[in-house]
Amino acid sequence: MTPIYQGIDLVHVPRIREIMLARPRFVEEVFTRAEREYCLARRDPYPHFAGRFAAKEACLKALGTGLFGSGIDGALGEIEVISEKSGKPKLQLTGWTAGISRRKKISQFSVSISHSADYAVASVILGGRGHGGESDDWSIE
C-alpha cells in the first residue's frame, strides 16, 4: 500500500500584501530568488506570492510538521514552487524539508494553486513508496 499525505492552505491576499509592505525582509526570508522573479514579473504580484505561500504551508502540513515544527524563517525557504513551461507548479525541497521527505520515503509530489483577487489556495499531495519500493521519476534535491 502506498502512503498518501495531503495538506491544504488558504491565504488572504490582502494580508500577504500588508505583511510584505510592512516587512520587506519577509519576501527574502520566505521566497526563493526564482519565486520572487516569477511573482514580480506579474502585473499584480500579490496573488502569486500568496499562492506560493499557501503551497509552502500546505506542503509542511502534508509532511506532518506545519510551521510549528520548523519555524517560518527556515522551512518555508526550503520549499520552492517552480513553474514548468506549461505553467504547472512543481515542488522542489531542500535542507530540513527534504530530509523529512526522505525519511517518510516520499517519491511523488503534486501541487495545485488557485487564486482570486482576495484569496489563494493550494493543495499538496505527497505519495510515499509502499512496501514494494516502487517510485516514479519525481525527485528531491
Question: Catalytic residue positions?
Answer: 61, 115
Residue 32's nearest CA partner among 58, 65, 64, 56 is 56
Residue environment code for 31-42, b if the CB has 16+ CB neighbours within 10 A, otherwise e: bbeebbebbeee
Please state, as a whole number, how many other Cβ atoms lie within 10 Å of the Cβ of residue 136: 9
Residue environment code for 76-92, b if the CB has 16+ CB neighbours within 10 A, otherwise e: bbbbbbeeeeeeebebb
Residue 61's nearest CA partner among 73, 52, 69 is 69
